[in-house]
Amino acid sequence: MKKILLSILLLVMLLPSLHAQQLEDYLVSAGENSPLLKARYNEYQAALQRVPQVGALPDPEASFNFFLRPMERYMGNQVGDVSVMQMFPWFGSLGAAKEEANFMAQMKFATFIEAKINLYHDVRATWYTLYRIDKEVLLVDKELEIMRALERIALAKYKAPAGAGAASGTTPQRPAAATAPTSGGTPTGGGMSGMGGGNTPATPGGSGGMSSGSAMASMGASSGGTMVDVILIRVQVKELENRLHLLRQSRKPQEVQFNNLLHRQPDLPVVVTDSLGAAPLPASLALLQDSIRQHHPMLQMYTWDEKARASQHRMAQLMGRPMIGLGVNYMVFQPRQDAMMGEMSGGNMLMPMVSISLPIYRKKYTAQKKEAEYARQAAVHQRDYAERQLFTELENLLYEYQRTSSTLQLLEEQVALNEQAIRLLTTNYTVAATGLEEVLRQRQNLLSYRQQQLQAVADQHTAVSAIRRLMSSDE
């Protein structure tokens, strides 16, 4: 027996962690299967491949020249030449180009991270919505059972005879003793004669017996139910049945959306937790703001953009300087006959070459530098604007978190008081068959409070998930 109790206790302790692990498994599956994340990651890999491209030297140029008619030279007849030339950009130009391409690739990686945290937040938010719907279904189903039980009680009271108050638990009180004058003028116990009912005839002046009989008849009539009570309960039952049907129907699109986020079959079942408590804040306000500044991918993307534009500006400056070319020229000669000097041939010749470009058209280089500087300033302003927008969103999320926390605390007190009132009202209706409208109204309030509790819990967890998204935290 102790082993069984220990196993149950261990299962209860591990249940929240098991459901948390279930959500984490869903997040891992979404990250591995999402086509959007795969597209963003491939864009990042494609951007990385530009780094070796822009950092490489220009391709060398080779030329081959053949003379249809050999050109007479002093060294002999030149039949052709072969030249190879390699151009070298100004010192530091290739490094600046590689830096720019690398920073642009980091911008692509930041968009990948942003898509990832947005996907994780969407998965969590949809999962919390499914949890709320499932718990609301259970609430409405339980409330429907209670209303059907109340309907059976009301129907039984309606079918009961009018004087069956004692059968329903009503004990009529003894009427107060009345003093009535007899025919002889002496007072007698009129109350006792009234209790005699029809077996002992009342004296002409015994009005106390008549009043007590009327009180008992009134008590018996009040203990019975009416058909109006049954109809009111049935109206409530119909409304709950319709609400239950709509709730179950509303789960389907959320389930399809969740499965699409995980990139799997839309009709696969989704498992949610049985219980979801209050969610704590992941960090203090100061740490939240610091984390947003340092880790949010949108801000990082603008930071990389600023650095890329600075490298582009430096590259534009260096490209405005001359390019140096180094190469060789190999000339092929044939021996030629000279009438005075005989056969002449100095052999083939190898000649080194040096060339330099002349960047004399300065307008385009000036425009490139201005373009890079304007783009860098735009990145700085965009980062500042995005940071303020993120902090505004953080304030709204913190307000939402505080609102849901206060709402949960208030609803907990309201539910406790409402349950107490319902117990008293239900007992009064069961005994005296009065106050059914108030019982129904309070039960509607209780159901509304509990639904608001579920909505507040789901909203609170969604707000915490959004805050973690701003922090770029996947934990």
pLDDT at site 257: 96
Q: Is the pLDDT of residue 258 over 50?
A: yes
CATH for the 100-167+226-321+359-471 domain, from 3.20.20.70, 3.30.70.1400, 3.40.50.720, 1.20.1600.10: 1.20.1600.10
At residue 161 the predicted structure's pLDDT band, cuts being 50, 70 and 90, is low
Residues of the chain with CATH 1.20.1600.10: 100-167+226-321+359-471
What does the block give as tokens for 409? 């605390």
Assign 298 to helix, strand or coil.
helix
Report which listed range, 157-171, 180-194, 436-450, is most confident.
Answer: 436-450
Strands (E), 286-402: 324-334, 336-338, 342-344, 349-356
Q: Beta strands 349-356 and 336-338: pairing type? A: unpaired
pLDDT at site 35: 96
- pTM flag (> 0.85): no
Assign 117 to helix, strand or coil.
helix
- Of 2 and 95, which is predicted with more confidence? 95
At residue 229 the predicted structure's pLDDT band, cuts being 50, 70 and 90, is confident
pLDDT at site 72: 76
Assign 297 to helix, strand or coil.
helix
Report how far residue 78's alpha carbon sits from residue 448's, in angstroms, rounded to the nearest whole number.
Answer: 103
Instruction: Kindly report, residue by residue over 264-306, the tens digit of the pLDDT.
Output: 999 999 999 888 888 999 888 889 999 999 999 999 999 999 9
| Of the candidate ranges 37-46, 124-133, 343-352, 461-470, the one whose mean pLDDT is the lowest | 343-352
HSE-CB for 287 with a 13 A CA cutoff = 7
Q: Is the pLDDT of residue 375 over 90?
A: yes
Q: Is the pLDDT of residue 118 over 80?
A: yes
Report how far residue 126's alpha carbon sits from residue 462's, in angstroms, rounded to the nearest whole number.
Answer: 9
pLDDT at site 93: 94
Single-letter amino acid code for the residue at 342 = G
Give the pLDDT mean for 438-447: 92
pLDDT at site 325: 95
Number of alpha helices (DSSP H) and beta strands (DSSP E) in the chain: 11, 8
Q: Is the pLDDT of residue 20 over 60?
A: no
Report how far residue 379's alpha carbon sits from residue 450's, in angstroms, rounded to the nearest whole number.
Answer: 48
Assign 470 to helix, strand or coil.
helix
Q: Match 């789960």 to its residue by tokens.
A: 251
Report how far residue 410's alpha carbon sits from residue 399's, in angstroms, rounded to the nearest whole number.
Answer: 16
Contacts 24+ apart (CB under 8 A), 187-196: none
